[in-house]
Amino acid sequence: MCPAGFDDDEILFAEDNGDDTPVESVVLPNSWRVLIVDDDPEIHSVTKLALNDLVAFEGNLAFSHAHSGSEAISFLHDNDDIAIILLDVVMETEDAGLRVARYIRNDLNMHDVRIILRTGQPGYAPEESVVKEYDINDYKTKTELTRSKLVTAIVSSLRSFLQIKKINENRAGLEHIVRCGADLLKQQSASSFATSTIKQIAQLLKIKPIGLLCADVICEDNNNEKTLMIQGGTAVYAEFSGQRLINCDNGRAILQISQSFNSTEHKFDEHETVLFIKGVSQQAAIYIDDGRLEYTETEMQLLDVYLNNLVVALDNINLVSRLQNAAYKDWLTGLGNRTEFARILDLHARCNEYGDIVALIDIKQFSDINDGLGQDTGNDILVAIAKRIVESFASTTTIGRISADVFGLIGFEKELNPDNIQNLFKLPFKVGEHTLPLTANLGFCRKNQSGNKGLTILKQAYIALNRAKKHNIKRLEFYTSDMEEQTAWRLGMIRQLRTDFFNNRLQLWYQPQYCLKSNKLVGMEALLRWPNAHGEYISPTTFIPLAEHSGLIIEIGAWVLEEACRQLKQLDALINNDMKISVNVSMPQFRSPDFAQSVITTINRMGVDPARIELEITESVIMDEPQMVIDILNALKSHGIKVAIDDFGTGFSSLSYLQRLPLDRIKVDRAFVMDMHNPNGAIIAEMIINLGKKLGLATIAEGIETKEQEQGLINLGCEYVQGFLYAYPMPSAELQIKVKQYFSQHKI
């Protein structure tokens, strides 16, 4: 039968009714022994069917079979006359084939046999080091192996096998070829590969090593058409490395190389040598400015073997180039990726050639475009932005895409400045049927303020960018050293806060709350305190934002609620009371998926009446995600938990949301209390208290320090108060003493 997607002239998948024993070792006269190693029996059948009638170099093929890597190794221990091994990569393990290849070369020392790797899973490509070190002759996915390609691979491998066998008769020549091949396989760039090739051929043919290597390369700036490019050269040709052949100033070299590509033949004369190389994925020609008219048979044989090995090396260097391209290039925009950008930044730090400033461009609306219009449109936008950046800046500017929606630029500040970059976004971007206006946040790092490593410079530019994101109007920042110091300080504080929290060094203090009408102690607010190593206390305005930013506030908040409940239970053991305790809650806690349930579970587990727990939220929390907050508060209210809004009037709350919130109390901020002695200073406090009355909510004022403030609040009708006039915040032990004394004195 023929699987979908294959034409009639491709390999047919037929039933194999022959013997399916692990190893078949029947050898016919004048046969080339081929070992098929694959865990799929059908592959064995298909390969035999495709190659059964092949006659090459006056011999047919005799097949042996192994169905696992271990079977192959066992068979090869007893059979050292195998010419070709068709080796599956993924068998009993993901790298079984690679292990076999390693064993063949290193343990069995079988260096003549040709290995063709095959896989049905392209993702398990051989590592670059394995291809280099273990002399892999070819590597194909099974789906691309048509009969003609399989025959070509077999014939090519047989040719290599025969020639290597023959060359063994000339040990000195063989050693030279092996050394050359090993050296070529070590080359990591097309330029170094070309230089080594020219020198090796010149040594082999005893001519001067002055020349170049040219290959047909797919060129992005030529509509992805193949173009003759100079990969590298020696002497006068070295300067043309990486350029098109037509840019070479030697017209005769251009002519001879072009003719070599057209005729696919070598040319030898006393003035020049041209060698044509046809690889699997690439063709090349070597031009040398010297030559001879006559060569010995051995020299030609050695050259032929060298060129056959060079074909493999050429394909390997092409593979390496593709791997490097994938490793250093952004697949979508064609720009350098983060790795390549950091590499250029390393060079930028060491010399002035690359410019004096680094800029990062963060596209503000990109996530909205991706979510609203789809990823395809998002990709099109990125391509359009990349194109506009490239068109707008000089060739001296290095441009890369270093994350999903962040572009990096390295250049000179006279061009790479905020005005020029922001000009990129003056006009909207048109992609498909969409015309989209965009804006960007910009982070800059000047060279005289940067480090000496690419990743350090990138980090500093990101620090500036992150600062820019916090400024909705300015949207740009230049890096300064104090930014990094602040960042390092924040990270250090977060680490210390985490350490101290898990070592139970945080404390919960309490500030009593009183009823103005009855002067009765009615409750307290739980206040978090963080002592440092010197016995001093770090301000909550400093560490609470750090805890929120790091996410640690969720664990700290759960601990605070549990400690508050425990405090109520301890007070209940001292006196008979119905005091309440207020606990502050932040936005990250609300965003925690199980916040409401965890609060309810903790209160029930501690055995506290839910009506004695009051959660305080700020209006900024409400306005962040109003509906989510309302839903969670309703869930808490349904279990009897009280809710108060803290710092009311300090922000820009929407009264429509205030109406919908399930509140019990409004808290008048200390700023309005402190302002009450000024003319018209009590207006806002009065407004908040009256609003509470209209909505049926109790009111409590904080920060009361004088009798005048207290009397003013009484006149305004405020119900509850807390502040230094009555009591400072105190630790648990002091609170218990104060409460016990208070209830004893008032005989409650």
Domain limit, last residue, from 105, 138, 167? 167
Q: Are residues 679 and 585 in the same domain?
A: yes
Q: Are residues 163 and 262 in the same domain?
A: no
The H or E element containing residue 209 is none
- Whether residue 492 is contained in a domain is answered as no
Q: Are residues 141 and 193 in the same domain?
A: no
Q: Are residues 646 and 730 in the same domain?
A: yes
Token pair 């014939």: residue: 155
The pair of three-digit structure tokens given for residue 723, joined into one six-digit string: 């502040």
For residues 304-309, give the mean pLDDT: 82
What's the pLDDT at 419? Answer: 92
For residues 330-359, give the mean pLDDT: 85
What's the pLDDT at 716? Answer: 92
Axis-axis angle for helices 595-606, 626-637 (nearest 10): 20
Axis-axis angle for helices 481-502, 553-574 (nearest 10): 40
pLDDT of 127 higher than 60 = no
- Whether residue 499 is contained in a domain is answered as no
DSSP 3-state of 536:
coil
Q: Are residues 434 and 534 in the same domain?
A: no
Q: Are residues 163 and 176 in the same domain?
A: no
Q: Spell out the residues 6+ positions from residue 258 whose beta carbon is closer than 8 angstroms to its own.
A: 228, 245
- Whether residue 484 is contained in a domain is answered as no
pLDDT of 296 higher than 80 = no
Q: Are residues 322 and 345 in the same domain?
A: no
Half-sphere exposure of 135 (CA within 13 A, CB side): 24
150 or 28, which is more confident: 150
What's the pLDDT at 320? Answer: 59
Q: Are residues 456 and 398 in the same domain?
A: yes
- Strand 55-56 and strand 114-119: the pairing is unpaired
What's the pLDDT at 205? Answer: 87
Q: Spell out the residues 6+ positions from residue 528 whose beta carbon is closer than 8 angstroms to its own.
A: 506, 507, 508, 509, 540, 544, 556, 560, 584
In total, how many domains does the chain have?
4
pLDDT of 706 higher than 90 = yes
- Work out the pLDDT band at 9, boundaries 50, 70, 90: very low
- CA–CA gap between residue 4 and residue 10 (Å, rounded): 11
pLDDT of 459 higher than 60 = yes
What's the pLDDT at 401? Answer: 92
pLDDT of 124 higher than 60 = no
Range of the domain at 454: 338-479
- Whether residue 23 is contained in a domain is answered as no
Q: Can you give the CATH number for the domain in which 117 is found?
A: 3.40.50.2300
- The model's pLDDT over 169-200, given as tens digits with 9 standing for 90+, comes to 565 555 666 666 666 666 667 778 888 888 88
- Work out the pLDDT band at 220, boundaries 50, 70, 90: low
For residues 487-511, give the mean pLDDT: 92
Q: Can you give the CATH number for the domain in which 606 is found?
A: 3.20.20.450
For residues 622-626, give the mean pLDDT: 77
Percent of the chain with pLDDT strictly greater than 70: 87
Q: Can you give the CATH number for the domain in which 352 is found?
A: 3.30.70.270
What's the pLDDT at 61? Answer: 92
Q: Are residues 375 and 242 in the same domain?
A: no
97 or 620, which is more confident: 97
- CA–CA gap between residue 645 and residue 700 (Å, rounded): 10
Q: Can you give the CATH number for the domain in which 310 is found?
A: 3.30.450.40
Q: Spell out the residues 6+ positions from residue 168 whose beta carbon is closer than 8 angstroms to its own.
A: 112, 174
- Whether residue 15 is contained in a domain is answered as no
Q: Are residues 545 and 639 in the same domain?
A: yes
Domain limit, last residue, from 108, 140, 167? 167
- Whether residue 13 is contained in a domain is answered as no
553 or 21, which is more confident: 553
> Do residues 460 and 448 lie in contact, with contact meaning Cβ atoms separated by under 8 Å?
no
- Whether residue 17 is contained in a domain is answered as no
- Work out the pLDDT band at 292, boundaries 50, 70, 90: confident
Q: Are residues 513 and 662 in the same domain?
A: yes
- The model's pLDDT over 542-581, given as tens digits with 9 standing for 90+, comes to 999 999 988 899 999 999 999 999 999 999 998 888 899 9
706 or 649, which is more confident: 706
Q: Spell out the residues 6+ positions from residue 586 whose beta carbon is closer than 8 angstroms to its own.
A: 544, 548, 553, 557, 621
- Calculate ∠ Cα 591-592-593, nearest 5°: 105
- Whether residue 19 is contained in a domain is answered as no
The pair of three-digit structure tokens given for residue 306, joined into one six-digit string: 């060298």
Q: Are residues 126 and 204 in the same domain?
A: no
Domain limit, last residue, from 136, 167, 198? 167
Judged on CB neighbours under 10 Å (0-12, 13-18, 19+), 26 is: exposed
- The model's pLDDT over 144-158, given as tens digits with 9 standing for 90+, comes to 778 888 898 889 888
Lowest mean pLDDT among 364-373, 550-559, 690-699: 364-373
- Work out the pLDDT band at 322, boundaries 50, 70, 90: low
What's the pLDDT at 521? Answer: 94
